[in-house]
Amino acid sequence: MRRVRTAACVLFALVAGASLAAQKTWTVPKTPWGDPDLRGTYTTDNSIGIPMERPPQYGERATLTDEEFAAREEANQEQVAKDLQERPESRFEEDAAANNAPRHWLERGTKLSHATSLVIDPPNGRIPPMTPDGQRRLAERAAVRSVRGPADAPEDRSNYDRCISRGITSSILPAIYGNGTRILQGPGVVVIQNEMIHENRIITLDSRPHVGSAIRSYMGDSRGRFEGSTLVVETTNFSPKTAVAGFGSIPSERMKLVEKFTRTAADTIRYEFTVDDPLTYTRPWTAALELNSKPGYQIYEYACHEGNYGLRNMLSAARAEEKR
């Protein structure tokens, strides 16, 4: 019996050692033209539910304890179980109120993150305070909107409601569904496709300058370069009508966003972005999460405009409320 146990231990050690060696020797593959290969379809499902800003009780602790992580996994499993329940029509309103939508609407993580927040810098995981100028611009927008109702016209709703854009980072950050990102590459160019609201960014890798300052867009103007195995993308020329990471701030003409895409394993890309806008925030801040490939995961057409009943219902409901 002792010999069997010893042999088993030796076999386990050999397998574990081989696995560890494989991890140490894994290198980022190259495209046929020599760039680090980031191509693939990924999802941020594993980061669903992680707050952008760290709850104060965690302080500067960036990861959960084993006990806290076990609770996160248990909550995820309970939600998956609810998603799979069959619900009779009589319970529709009750389930809708609990956000227990049909399973085919939703996505869940399969290998959850230990992170306590998406923001990793400042060390407390909190977005820095806004500058006086940033606060002023936000107050001016709020004053304009206060004259109107929240649904007087389509323009009173968010870009997301109107199927225009979720913004350059929000299109990657996880929501309840549509968390896919596809990366395509060609010589001198990278294309990033977002499932949510079908954004497509074409990023050139040459040294051409950004477009003129008068040209601004929801997704900005991106230029990329490889630093080792990391794709670094610098984006400027943001429209003041867009937003960063879904937060209520207005980008200034000096805002610069730096994104980093690093393939850390065959099925994983670390995504990190830094917001540097000295006219809006008192200091730069950085957020990070993983993009993971998942067997069978595909990006389907996000026919937002074609099926945007939500916006029509918001406006018609507002008119009905006024009439009542």
């680090």: which residue's tokens? 36
Using 50, 70 and 90 to split pLDDT, how confident is the model at 188? very high
Determine if the peptide bond prior to 154 is cis (ω within 30°): no
Q: Check residue 108 and give its pLDDT.
A: 86
Q: Check residue 88 and give its pLDDT.
A: 47
The alpha carbon torsion through 165, 169, 174, 175 (nearest 10 deg) reads -30
Stronger pLDDT, 263 or 26, i.e. the higher one: 263
Stronger pLDDT, 112 or 10, i.e. the higher one: 112
C-alpha distances (whole Å) from 17 to each of 3, 21, 22, 26, 69 are 21, 6, 8, 14, 27
Q: What is the pLDDT of residues 144-157, one digit of tens each?
A: 777 777 888 888 88
Burial per residue of 175-203, b for 16 or more beta-carbon CB atoms within 10 angstroms, e otherwise? bebbbbbbbebeeeebebbbbbbbbebeb
Q: Check residue 29 and give its pLDDT.
A: 95
Three-class secondary structure of residue 247 per DSSP: coil
Model confidence at 69: pLDDT above 80:
yes
Tokens of 164: 């225009």
Whole-number average pLDDT of the chain: 86
- Taking the C-alpha atoms of residue 165 and residue 174, their distance in angstroms, rounded to an integer, is 15
Lowest mean pLDDT: which of 60-64, 81-85, 256-260, 290-294?
81-85
- Average pLDDT of the residues in 5-21: 48
Q: Check residue 4 and give its pLDDT.
A: 43
Using 50, 70 and 90 to split pLDDT, how confident is the model at 247? low
Using 50, 70 and 90 to split pLDDT, how confident is the model at 85? confident
Model confidence at 2: pLDDT above 60:
no
Q: Answer yes or no: are the C-beta atoms of 273 and 264 closer than 8 Å.
A: no
- Residue of 304, 11, 19 whose CA lies nearest to 171: 304
Model confidence at 51: pLDDT above 80:
yes
Q: Check residue 303 and give its pLDDT.
A: 83
- Taking the C-alpha atoms of residue 142 and residue 159, their distance in angstroms, rounded to an integer, is 16
- Taking the C-alpha atoms of residue 149 and residue 163, their distance in angstroms, rounded to an integer, is 20
- Taking the C-alpha atoms of residue 213 and residue 80, their distance in angstroms, rounded to an integer, is 47
Q: Check residue 202 and give its pLDDT.
A: 95
Three-class secondary structure of residue 282 per DSSP: coil
Model confidence at 66: pLDDT above 50:
yes
- Average pLDDT of the residues in 99-126: 85
Three-class secondary structure of residue 34 per DSSP: coil
What percentage of the chain carries pLDDT values higher than 70? 86
Three-class secondary structure of residue 74 per DSSP: helix
Stronger pLDDT, 271 or 243, i.e. the higher one: 271
Q: Check residue 103 and give its pLDDT.
A: 66
**78-83 long-range contacts, CB within 8 A, separation 24+:** 79/108, 80/108, 83/108
**200-204 long-range contacts, CB within 8 A, separation 24+:** 201/168, 203/233
Using 50, 70 and 90 to split pLDDT, how confident is the model at 24? low
Q: Answer yes or no: are the C-beta atoms of 294 and 315 closer than 8 Å.
A: no
